[in-house]
Amino acid sequence: MASKRGKILIVDDNAGIRRALEILLPLHFAEVKTLPSPATLVSTLEQFRPDVVLLDMNFNTSINTGNEGLYWAGEIKKMVPEVEVVLFTAYADIQLAVEGMKRGAFDFLVKPWDNDKLIEVLTAARDKARKAMGRDASAKGLSMTGNCHSERSEESMFWGSSSAMAAIRKTLDKIAPTDATVLITGENGTGKDVLAREIHAHSLRSGKPMVAVDAGAITETLFESELFGHVKGAFTDAHTDHVGKFEQADGSTLFLDEIGNIPLHLQAKLLRVIQSRSVVRVGGTQATPVDIRLVCATNMDLEALVREGRFREDLYYRINTVHIALPPLRERREDIVPLAQMFLERFAEKYHRPLTGIAPDAAEILQAQPWSGNIRELQNCIEKAVILSEAKTLTAKDIQTEARSLPGAASSVSPGPTGGLLRNEAEAERLVREAMERAGGNISAAAKMLGISRPTLYAKLKKYGL
């Protein structure tokens, strides 16, 4: 047996579970401490300084939402980002546990647990935490600074093998070294922001970071301040000078995402700055020159908006020097499985899963989906599958999408080799039975897994005699 190392803190309101773990875990950890609730969690973290926290997701017998676990997992990662959190969950909480991992939890364990699996996950979490803290190399203590220094690396462009993407890549090679203004259009989830970063990365301005703005998310009252800046005293809360996004992007690339959502009266102000290549901060009088390369993106039909009088024609032509239209995923189906494999490898590493490939039945399922959310929907689907799977290969049962949930929910599935299979009743019954088993009989949780309402699930259960 490996030498006992590290400290683990268990937070669970079930006395029997705490007692069982107090017997099992000292064989693998140097120190084990338990709490019946999070009431003293903050002070215990400061005094005990654990490497791992095994955290229950529910502490109130009358409330079974799992939100308490999500809340405290987030609080732990804020206070001590180096500590690894493993969520302890019932079957009905699995979807919330998946959300917890996306928020920074190391992994989750399902009750009732398998001892070997529990030890494997907890010791892996301990080893990661101790390596991050340098505890095995020195006696350095835990810093309670709360500064999280881990950042996700930005995504790189996946070009695939479709003719549409090959043409876009050829265009990018030509325009990237120039300062030409680019308009990127495409449905939600097609990767417009990723393409914008790719243009910047291959430009002569790549030595400085690209400045990205979700133009549609800025409130009208803050629009000018955020983009053009303001001077101290310009308005009530302007306590200091503020440099706007245009000035921040000086010498670099400014990416204005969702430009089609900018209100008409603000478009005139944006046009003036783009034409003059200078900004006047709110409350100021001096014009400051800005040297930027402008890239814009939208999922809207700007030509139609121009015809309707909702988007300025002169602004449209100003931002449309080069137009790149990203195709939806359904029009580049040869790229679906390679994209899924790329996401699988990324998330298998992130979530410490042994997965290496995609089984043929899963590949057929993936290629048959409509993917109305495009690459982003595929990415979320694979991330969820990786988290929930414990095998070495993703299979059809691991793939959960809205279109695949039930025959009634799969009407939008494009015709394909598995289209009929997905719509028949035998498949529907299997999915319902599987969801109920995974949810431990919890109808609300099973309905959420299947992407249907509780009444619809009740009807299905009655129909299949489950």
Q: Which two tokens stand for residue 269?
A: 């102000």
- Model confidence at 148, in pLDDT bands (50, 70, 90)? very low
Same fold, 163-326 and 333-464: no
The one-letter code for the residue type at 128 is K
- Residue 258: partners with Cβ closer than 8 Å, 6 or more residues away: 214, 215, 216, 217, 297, 298, 299
Taking the alpha carbons of 118, 119, 120, 125 in that order, is the dihedral positive or negative?
Answer: positive
Distance CA(466)–CA(451), nearest Å, equals 18
Cβ density class 99-126: b for 16+ within 10 Å, e for less: bbbeebbbbbbbeebeeeebbebbbbbb
The one-letter code for the residue type at 379 is Q
- Residue 112: partners with Cβ closer than 8 Å, 6 or more residues away: none
Q: Which CATH class is domain 163-326?
A: alpha beta
For 5-22, the pLDDT digits (tens) are 899 999 998 889 999 999
Q: Which two tokens stand for residue 235?
A: 């308005």
Distance CA(63)–CA(46), nearest Å, equals 28
Identify the residue whose tokens are 């600074």: 145
Q: Which CATH class is domain 7-133?
A: alpha beta
Distance CA(453)–CA(460), nearest Å, equals 11
- Bridging pattern class, strands 322-325 and 253-257: unpaired
Identify the residue whose tokens are 């931002």: 319
Q: What is the mean pLDDT of the chain?
A: 83
User: What does the pLDDT read at residue 235?
Assistant: 80
User: What does the pLDDT read at residue 402?
Assistant: 55
Q: Which two tokens stand for residue 142?
A: 């835990």
- Bridging pattern class, strands 278-280 and 84-89: unpaired
- Model confidence at 160, in pLDDT bands (50, 70, 90)? confident
Residue among 308, 327, 326, 306 at smallest CA distance from 317:
306
Percent of the chain with pLDDT over 70: 84
- Bridging pattern class, strands 287-289 and 278-280: antiparallel
Q: Which two tokens stand for residue 160?
A: 């695939």
Distance CA(99)–CA(123), nearest Å, equals 22
HEC readout, the chain: CCCCCCEEEEECCCHHHHHHHHHHHHHCCCEEEEECCHHHHHHHHHHHCCCEEEEECCCECCECCCHHHHHHHHHHHHHCCCCEEEEEECHHHHHHHHHHHHCCCCEEEECCCCHHHHHHHHHHHHHHHHHHHCCCCCCCCCCCCCCCCCCCCCCCCCCCCCHHHHHHHHHHHHHCCCCCCEEEECCCCCCHHHHHHHHHHCCCCCCCCCEEEEHHHCCHHHHHHHHHCECCCCCCCCCCCECCHHHHCCCCEEEEECHHHCCHHHHHHHHHHHHHCEEECECCCCEEECCCEEEEEECCCHHHHHHCCCCCHHHHHHHCCEEEECCCHHHCHHHHHHHHHHHHHHHHHHCCCCCCEECHHHHHHHHHCCCCCHHHHHHHHHHHHHHHCCCCEECHHHCCCHHHCCHHHCCCCCCCCCHHHHHCHHHHHHHHHHHHHHCCCCHHHHHHHHCCCHHHHHHHHHHHCC
For 405-416, the pLDDT digits (tens) are 444 443 333 333
Rounded average pLDDT over 386-390 = 85
> Which residue has better confidence, 42 or 269?
269
User: What does the pLDDT read at residue 135?
Assistant: 56
- Model confidence at 436, in pLDDT bands (50, 70, 90)? confident
What global pTM score does this model have? 0.61
Distance CA(404)–CA(427), nearest Å, equals 10
The domain spans of the chain are 7-133, 163-326, 333-464
Which residues are paired to 296 by β-bridges?
Answer: 183, 256
- Model confidence at 417, in pLDDT bands (50, 70, 90)? very low
For 181-218, the pLDDT digits (tens) are 999 999 999 999 999 999 999 999 999 999 999 887 78
Neighbours of 456 (CB within 10 A): 16
- Model confidence at 242, in pLDDT bands (50, 70, 90)? confident
pLDDT of 304 higher than 80: yes
User: What does the pLDDT read at residue 448?
Assistant: 66
Rounded average pLDDT over 106-120 = 89
Residue among 329, 279, 379 at smallest CA distance from 164:
329
Of 32-41, 46-55, 148-157, 220-229, the one with minimum mean pLDDT is: 148-157
Q: Which two tokens stand for residue 79?
A: 């206070």
Please say whether the beta carbons of 91 and 58 come within 8 A: no
For 253-282, the pLDDT digits (tens) are 999 999 999 999 999 999 999 999 999 998
Domain 333-464 adopts which CATH fold?
Helicase, Ruva Protein; domain 3 (1.10.8)
- Residue 169: partners with Cβ closer than 8 Å, 6 or more residues away: 159
